[in-house]
Amino acid sequence: MNTTRIMDLMHNVLDNSRKFRVLNVIDDYNREAIAVEVSHSFPATQVINLLDRLIMFKRKPRFRLFA
């Protein structure tokens, strides 16, 4: 348990031509989506803050994988 997490950044375009992104963090052991963030952009500081919050509430994983 709590060995790896997968981080995935998806993007799409709305009908009004505005782009949006979805950042998903998934626990690879049980396939639980432990974070889903939606925004028009994801600067590095926002991603770091999300990962810090996850460490506070879900502990730090042993390994990290990036999809």
Please tell me whether the overall predicted TM-score, pTM, comes out greater than 0.85 for this model: no
Strand partners, 38: 22
- Tell me if residue 59 falls in helix, strand or coil: coil
Q: What is the pLDDT of residues 13-35, one digit of tens each?
A: 999 999 999 999 998 888 889 99
**pLDDT of 22:** 96
Is pLDDT above 60 for 42?
A: yes
Quick count: other Cβ atoms within 10 Å of Cβ 26? 19
Is pLDDT above 60 for 1?
A: no
| Number of domains present in the structure of the chain | 1
**pLDDT of 55:** 86
Give me the domain span that covers residue 9. Answer: 5-66
- Report d(CA 17, CA 2) in Å as an integer: 39
